[in-house]
Amino acid sequence: MHDIQSIRKEPAAFDAALAKRSAAAQADSLIAIDQRRRTVIDEAQAAQTRRNDLSKQIGQAKAAGDHARAEALMQEVAQIKARLPELEEQERIVAAELNTALAAIPNLPAADVPEGADENDNVLVHQKGEPATFAFEAREHDVIAPALGMDFETGVALSGARFTLLRGAMARLSRALGQFMLDRMTEENGFELVQPPLLVRDEAAFGTGQLPKFADDLFRTTDGRWLIPTAEVSLTNIVREAILSETELPLRFTALTPCFRSEAGAAGRDTRGLIRQHQFDKVEMVSITTPEQSDAEHEGMTVCAEGVLEALGLPYRRMLLCTGDMGFSAARTYDLEVWLPGQARYREISSCSTCTDFQARRMMARYRPTEGKGTRFVHTLNGSGLAVGRTLVAVIENYQQADGSVVVPQVLRPYLGGQAVLEPR
pLDDT digits (tens, 9 = 90+) for 390-406: 999 999 999 999 999 99
Query: Is residue 233 located within the same domain as residue 379?
Result: yes
Residue 269 has pLDDT above 80, yes or no: no
- Ligand-binding annotation for 348, yes or no, is yes
Whether the pLDDT of residue 270 is over 80: the answer is: no
Out of 172, 287, 390, 397, which one is annotated catalytic? 390
pLDDT at 267 over 70: no
Q: Which CATH number goes with the domain that contains 90?
A: 1.10.287.40
Structural domain for 150, as ranges:
119-422
Query: Is residue 348 flagged as an active site residue?
Result: yes
46: left (phi over 0), alpha (psi -120 to 50) or beta: alpha
| Per-residue pLDDT tens digits for 199-243 | 999 999 999 999 999 999 999 999 999 999 999 999 999 999 999
| Residue 174 burial (CB count, 10 A) | 21
Active-site option among 119, 192, 310, 348 = 348
% of the chain beyond a pLDDT of 90:
92
The per-residue pLDDT for 268 is 65
Average pLDDT, the chain: 96
With cut-offs at 50, 70 and 90, classify the pLDDT of residue 89: very high
Angle of the 168-183 helix axis to the 388-398 helix axis, nearest 10: 110
Residue 240 annotated among the catalytic residues of the structure: no
End position of a domain, from candidates 104, 134, 167: 104
Task: Tell whether residue 349 is among the known ligand binding residues.
Answer: yes
CATH code, 173:
3.30.930.10
Q: Is residue 112 part of a domain?
A: no
The mean pLDDT value for 325-336 works out to 98
Domain edge (last residue) among 104, 127, 158? 104
How far is Cα 381 from Cα 232, in angstroms, rounded to an integer?
9
Q: Are residues 123 and 98 in the same domain?
A: no
Task: Output the 3-class SS for the chain.
Answer: CCCHHHHHHCHHHHHHHHHHCCCCCCHHHHHHHHHHHHHHHHHHHHHHHHHHHHHHHHHHHHHCCCHHHHHHHHHHHHHHHHHHHHHHHHHHHHHHHHHHHHHCCCCCCCCCCCCCCCHHHCEEEEEECCCCCCCCCCCCHHHHHHHHCEEHHHHHHHHCCCCCEECHHHHHHHHHHHHHHHHHHHHHCCCEECCCCCEECHHHHHHCCCCCCCHHHCEECCCCCEECCCCHHHHHHHHCCCEEEHHHCCEEEEEEEEEECCCCCCCCCCCCCCCCCCEEEEEEEEEEECCCCHHHHHHHHHHHHHHHHHHCCCCEEEEECCCCCCCCCCCEEEEEEEEECCCCEEEEEEEEEECCCHHHHHHCCEEECCCCCCCEECEEEEEEEEEHHHHHHHHHHHCECCCCCEECCHHHHHHHCCCCEECCC
The verdict on 141 and 67 lying in the same domain is no
Residue 47 lies in a domain: yes
Per-residue pLDDT tens digits for 157-190: 999 999 999 999 999 999 999 999 999 999 999 9
Of 80, 104, 128, which residue is a domain's last?
Answer: 104
pLDDT at 16 over 70: yes
Task: Report the alpha-carbon distance of residue 262 to residue 283 in Å, rounded.
Answer: 19
Active-site residue, from 162, 261, 332, 361: 261
Shared-domain flag, residues 245 and 141 = yes
Q: How confident is the model at residue 100 (pLDDT cuts 50, 70, 90)?
A: very high
Tell whether the model's pLDDT for residue 66 goes beyond 90.
no
Q: Is 236 annotated as a binding residue?
A: no
Amino acid 402: pLDDT: 97
Residues 167 and 223 in one domain: yes
Domain count along the chain: 2
In the chain, the percentage of residues whose pLDDT exceeds 70 is: 98
Concerning whether 366 is annotated as a catalytic residue, the answer is no
Beta bridge partners, 400, equal 406
What is the tens place of the pLDDT at every residue in 103-124? 999 999 999 999 999 999 999 9
* Residue 22 among known ligand-binding residues: no
Please pick, among 83, 276, 317, 413, the residue that the annotation labels catalytic.
276
Whether residue 28 sits in one domain with residue 154: no
Confirm or deny that 284 is annotated as ligand binding.
Answer: yes
pLDDT at 78 over 90: yes
Q: Mean pLDDT throughout 81-85?
A: 93
Sheet-wide strand order for 279-289? 123-128, 316-320, 332-340, 345-354, 379-387, 279-289, 251-260, 192-193
Phi–psi pair at 347, nearest 5 degrees? -130, 145
Same domain flag for 98 and 150 = no
pTM: 0.92
Whether the pLDDT of residue 379 is over 90: the answer is yes
Indicate if the alpha-carbon torsion angle 183, 184, 187, 193 is positive or negative.
negative
306 and 404 belong to one structural domain: yes
Same domain, 259 and 179: yes
Give the pLDDT band (50/70/90) at residue 263.
confident
Indicate the pLDDT class of residue 67, thresholds 50, 70 and 90.
confident
User: Was 230 annotated as part of a binding site?
Assistant: yes
User: Do 90 and 165 sit in the same domain of this protein?
Assistant: no
**384 assigned to a ligand binding site:** yes
114 lies in a domain?
no
pLDDT of residue 218: 97
Identify whether 351 is a catalytic site residue. Answer: yes
Q: Which pLDDT score is estimated for 420?
A: 98
245 known ligand binder: no
Are residues 53 and 168 located together in one domain of the fold? no
Out of 234, 351, 353, 362, the active site residue is 351
| pLDDT score of 265 | 63
Residue 111 lies in a domain: no
Q: Is 390 an active-site residue?
A: yes
- 11 with 76, same domain? yes
